[in-house]
A and B are shown apart, each in its own frame.
Chain A
């Protein structure tokens, strides 16, 4: 050992150091934590399972979709937020949309075209259009206005492409409204607004999102995907919005639904941490239990 060159001795020491630290920190430590956690905090350590009629139906910490096989909302259930995890609330594919704040231009589906896999082209929605479309759908489901700033009445992003990019406009296209849709404004600075021809490259134009005057009724969390895609909560405002529909669908008094919302609401921890939030799974479970 002592006769080996210094650099070899250092590497041998490094290997042994790594192995002994792996035993202590990588095996003994997690096993010790697991032992104590399983003994003292069994429910939490095993994922806070929730049961219905004795069978585990999920975790109170992991959100679920309350939609039917066709993807349509099941009307007797409170709906969760939109999710970017797999096909929605898939814990094997957690994650966010990662779409940015100026992601406002759709790639419109070109009729008859195929994508790389040979499937029909479905285009790609921008984050703005996702938000507008969700807002419209929630509005329809709950019987309120789904209108929002920067959204058209038909539920896409209200964005104009103005040509030329600099100077007096000569041509204006409503970028997210595929022909033959009627553009959300007829004129922009005296120029007639056209609908968009799918497949046409509009990159050279100036992007002008149009705010409009409509206030939003549908809450923010109802139109956005969470970071994990597994968010078990919705805001109190979104729960309140859904309450009349659920009460009507189940034929129970609205007051009762409201009380259950309150029972399943977590306030801010210590009064200042986080935001009040309603657990959708436990709320729906409480409704099912009657």
Chain B
């Protein structure tokens, strides 16, 4: 089998596996979020938290709960890193410097997992597992909770009740993420990922030198890092590190884990709004965009254009021999189409246009399929914008799932989609305007701009992958990117919850002959078009100066 054919079979096998899993998993999540019974352990947790699980929240209360939980998490994680030398299992590492601790705290709480540090030389085992990895669970659960609240906005009528954030948070963590992570972690250990609490220990090598072998609870963190679309590596080399991704089949498992929940949530959505076809339409939009992206990216990497890739004869710089070029490209597409940001190969060394696709995936707003929860709510906002555009064309008041899209709704949807481009472009412009920040670039010319543009795109979209040549562990970048991550996460969430609140208050209007059907291929095509045009027009000038200038001669 040639590498190209094997790469195509690899992608096809993922598609088949996702198609098989999305129904039972989507149905299970539907039952989790709509069930009225509480598990015994959940009752205990609610009592400890001090909340009444059966009382619903208005959108403002729901949003304040999200923000309170995230603010407390940031402070806790910051303190944890600053005090790690006073706690157990610090491996002798000192307190994390303040600007890096701030950046990392925001990064993990916002589901970004941008890393301005090297795990193996900065973080002890306790901070990794009880600080960072906890956020891997709960930041994903927060994303799902907000998405479910928006879906309730569509599904419910004439109410202020969007559900209870604490219940959604606990159920998402305990009933969905925890059991899947437990099984997945053991699968990864079987593949060779480590799971211990050993200190780094030195061995004498065959060649007569020394090598320090590291330890750590890696597998338990790796699986939730992928499944929760977090992406923060235990090690600097992330999922390229053999202890994080040991074999070609653990690589498949990790890509599958990345895509599993985001591709299943549309099913949950379809069940909750009482029309599975609406869920299929959403998953079709995600699928079309994702398949196009992964195919183009893999093809670009296999055809290795550019001076150095041509000299090498394959785009192998920054890639592992066991994965090869095709499967590395597939991982890169999956990680940037979602909000994961884990890498099994280093995007900075990709071909110019291949690297651009990873950036473009994030610029789409990470909606195909997007982050856990954030992908679904991003796509639903795009659907709202699409029915609005369609409504303008035929001169009718737009509606989606029986809810009118009026002035308030479209303002919130527009604000949602203006937030990240503003953060990305203003942030990049500020960095490029300062000689000191430009000095952080590793590569010169157009590629240097790509490094900076990638950094702000990744942070503002809560992805976390990098063109890692850029030196970002400086106070300026730590602060600026930290702010981008925080605003890029929480402003859209507030807009989404505001939208959910105003949708839930409406009573549905019955579909008429003039209603745009939103479950047909025509609508799928329209949303795909709106997604690409909305993004293309916004970011094309910046891309033209960076990867396009580098890749097209």
Contacts and interface: CB of A to CB of B under 8 A. Distances in A.
Contacts of B195: 33-34, 37-38, 41, 45
Contacts of A1: 50
A221 B322 CA distance: 11
B50 A16 contact: yes
B348 A16 contact: no
B206 A91 contact: no
A96 B318 contact: yes
B321 interface: yes
A111 interface: no
Nearest to B137: A25
Interface string A55-91: 1111101111111110000100100010001000111
A115 interface: no
A230 interface: yes
B205 A64 contact: yes
B308 A25 contact: no
Interface residues of B, number: 124
A278 to B, nearest CB: 8
A217 to B, nearest CB: 10
A165 to B, nearest CB: 13
Contact of B344 (A14, A15, A98, A227): A227
Contacts of B166: 13, 17
A220 B227 CA distance: 33
A122 interface: no
B307 A16 contact: no
B15 to A, nearest CB: 13
A202 B532 CA distance: 40
B469 interface: yes
Contacts of B174: 24
Interface residues of A, number: 114
Interface in B209-229: 209, 211-215, 217, 219-221
A26 interface: yes
A149 B169 CA distance: 56
B118 A93 contact: yes
B268 to A, nearest CB: 22
A20 interface: yes
Interface centre among A69, A211, A223, A288 (most CB of B within 10 A): A223
Interface in A1-40: 1, 6-7, 9-18, 20-22, 24-27, 29-30, 32-34, 36-38, 40
Contacts of B446: 102
Contact of B65 (A14, A128, A216, A266): A14
Contacts of A189: none
Interface string B1-33: 101001001100100000000000000000000
A270 to B, nearest CB: 7
A12 B64 contact: no
A170 interface: no
A102 B352 contact: yes
Contacts of B69: 14, 17-18
A11 B68 contact: yes
A96 B186 contact: no
A66 to B, nearest CB: 5
Interface string B149-192: 00000000000000000100110011000100110011001111
A275 B322 contact: yes
A89 B240 contact: no
Which 3 pairs show the lowest CB-CB distances between chains A and B?
A274-B248, A227-B240, A275-B324
Interface of A: 1, 6-7, 9-18, 20-22, 24-27, 29-30, 32-34, 36-38, 40-41, 44-49, 52, 55-59, 61-69, 74, 77, 81, 85, 89-105, 127-128, 131-132, 148-151, 157, 209, 211, 216, 219-221, 223-235, 266, 268-275, 277, 281, 284-285, 288
15 contacts: A16-B49, A25-B178, A44-B194, A46-B194, A93-B121, A95-B236, A98-B346, A98-B468, A101-B350, A131-B317, A148-B313, A150-B307, A228-B240, A274-B249, A285-B206
Given A101-B309, A229-B237, 6 more contacts: A101-B349, A105-B444, A127-B308, A227-B328, A275-B248, A281-B206
